[in-house]
Amino acid sequence: MTILLVALGAALGAPVRYLTDRAVQARHDSEFPWGTLTVNVAGSALLGFLVALPADGGVMSFAGTGLCGALSTYSTFGYETVRLVEDGARFYSVANVAASIAAGLGAAYCGMTVAAAVTG
Protein backbone atom coordinates (compact mmCIF):
# COMPACT_ATOMS: atom_id res chain seq x y z
CA MET A 1 0.00 0.00 0.00
CA THR A 2 2.84 2.42 0.85
CA ILE A 3 4.44 2.13 -2.57
CA LEU A 4 1.08 2.85 -4.21
CA LEU A 5 0.69 6.02 -2.12
CA VAL A 6 4.20 7.16 -3.05
CA ALA A 7 3.53 6.46 -6.72
CA LEU A 8 0.23 8.35 -6.66
CA GLY A 9 1.84 11.33 -4.96
CA ALA A 10 4.67 11.32 -7.49
CA ALA A 11 2.18 11.05 -10.34
CA LEU A 12 0.62 14.28 -9.09
CA GLY A 13 3.85 16.04 -8.13
CA ALA A 14 5.75 15.53 -11.39
CA PRO A 15 3.26 17.28 -13.70
CA VAL A 16 2.68 20.03 -11.13
CA ARG A 17 6.44 20.54 -11.00
CA TYR A 18 6.77 20.68 -14.79
CA LEU A 19 3.81 23.01 -15.34
CA THR A 20 4.80 25.34 -12.50
CA ASP A 21 8.43 25.46 -13.64
CA ARG A 22 7.45 26.32 -17.21
CA ALA A 23 4.85 28.91 -16.15
CA VAL A 24 7.25 30.70 -13.80
CA GLN A 25 10.23 30.55 -16.17
CA ALA A 26 8.12 31.89 -19.07
CA ARG A 27 7.50 35.07 -17.06
CA HIS A 28 11.22 35.82 -16.65
CA ASP A 29 13.62 36.86 -19.37
CA SER A 30 16.65 35.62 -17.47
CA GLU A 31 19.12 32.75 -17.33
CA PHE A 32 18.34 32.36 -13.63
CA PRO A 33 16.28 29.18 -12.98
CA TRP A 34 13.30 30.85 -11.29
CA GLY A 35 10.99 27.92 -12.03
CA THR A 36 13.19 25.36 -10.30
CA LEU A 37 13.71 27.68 -7.34
CA THR A 38 9.94 28.12 -7.04
CA VAL A 39 9.10 24.42 -7.02
CA ASN A 40 11.92 23.60 -4.63
CA VAL A 41 10.82 26.29 -2.17
CA ALA A 42 7.18 25.17 -2.42
CA GLY A 43 8.20 21.54 -1.82
CA SER A 44 10.28 22.56 1.20
CA ALA A 45 7.39 24.53 2.68
CA LEU A 46 4.94 21.68 2.21
CA LEU A 47 7.32 19.10 3.64
CA GLY A 48 8.07 21.31 6.65
CA PHE A 49 4.33 21.65 7.22
CA LEU A 50 3.73 17.89 7.00
CA VAL A 51 6.63 16.99 9.28
CA ALA A 52 5.49 19.42 11.96
CA LEU A 53 1.86 18.25 12.00
CA PRO A 54 2.94 15.33 12.39
CA ALA A 55 1.21 13.64 9.49
CA ASP A 56 0.50 9.91 9.67
CA GLY A 57 2.40 7.35 7.61
CA GLY A 58 -0.04 7.29 4.71
CA VAL A 59 -0.10 11.06 4.36
CA MET A 60 3.69 11.22 4.55
CA SER A 61 4.03 8.48 1.93
CA PHE A 62 1.64 10.22 -0.46
CA ALA A 63 2.40 13.90 0.15
CA GLY A 64 5.82 13.90 1.80
CA THR A 65 7.69 11.28 -0.20
CA GLY A 66 5.60 11.10 -3.38
CA LEU A 67 4.30 14.62 -3.99
CA CYS A 68 7.16 16.62 -2.46
CA GLY A 69 9.75 14.22 -3.86
CA ALA A 70 8.47 14.68 -7.40
CA LEU A 71 7.66 18.38 -6.97
CA SER A 72 11.09 19.42 -5.78
CA THR A 73 14.24 18.44 -7.59
CA TYR A 74 17.83 18.44 -6.42
CA SER A 75 19.10 17.01 -9.71
CA THR A 76 17.69 19.88 -11.77
CA PHE A 77 19.04 22.38 -9.25
CA GLY A 78 22.49 20.81 -9.60
CA TYR A 79 22.33 20.62 -13.39
CA GLU A 80 21.15 24.22 -13.78
CA THR A 81 23.83 25.49 -11.41
CA VAL A 82 26.59 23.70 -13.37
CA ARG A 83 25.08 24.92 -16.65
CA LEU A 84 25.21 28.51 -15.37
CA VAL A 85 28.90 28.10 -14.49
CA GLU A 86 29.67 26.60 -17.91
CA ASP A 87 27.82 29.46 -19.62
CA GLY A 88 29.93 32.00 -17.73
CA ALA A 89 27.07 33.18 -15.52
CA ARG A 90 29.00 32.71 -12.29
CA PHE A 91 27.02 35.33 -10.38
CA TYR A 92 23.76 33.56 -11.23
CA SER A 93 25.23 30.20 -10.25
CA VAL A 94 26.30 31.45 -6.83
CA ALA A 95 23.00 33.29 -6.40
CA ASN A 96 21.13 30.09 -7.32
CA VAL A 97 22.97 28.08 -4.67
CA ALA A 98 22.58 30.74 -1.98
CA ALA A 99 18.93 31.47 -2.77
CA SER A 100 17.99 27.79 -3.02
CA ILE A 101 19.54 26.89 0.31
CA ALA A 102 18.33 29.97 2.20
CA ALA A 103 14.83 29.98 0.71
CA GLY A 104 14.43 26.21 1.04
CA LEU A 105 15.39 26.22 4.71
CA GLY A 106 13.30 29.33 5.34
CA ALA A 107 10.29 27.80 3.60
CA ALA A 108 10.61 24.58 5.61
CA TYR A 109 10.75 26.62 8.81
CA CYS A 110 7.71 28.65 7.76
CA GLY A 111 5.82 25.46 6.91
CA MET A 112 6.64 24.09 10.34
CA THR A 113 5.53 27.35 11.97
CA VAL A 114 2.21 27.29 10.12
CA ALA A 115 1.63 23.67 11.16
CA ALA A 116 2.37 24.55 14.78
CA ALA A 117 -0.11 27.43 14.62
CA VAL A 118 -2.78 25.24 13.02
CA THR A 119 -2.42 22.42 15.55
CA GLY A 120 -2.16 24.95 18.36
Query: pLDDT tens digit string along 18-54?
Result: 999 999 999 999 999 999 999 999 999 999 999 999 8
- Cα–Cα distance for residue pair 48/114, rounded to 1 Å: 9
Residue 69 labelled as part of a binding site: yes
Residue 72 labelled as part of a binding site: yes
pTM for the model:
0.93
Q: pLDDT by residue (tens digit) across 110-119?
A: 999 999 999 9
- 3-class SS at 74? helix
Phi, psi (rounded to 5 degrees) for 87: -85, 0
Q: Is the dihedral of CA 18, 20, 26, 31 positive or negative?
A: negative
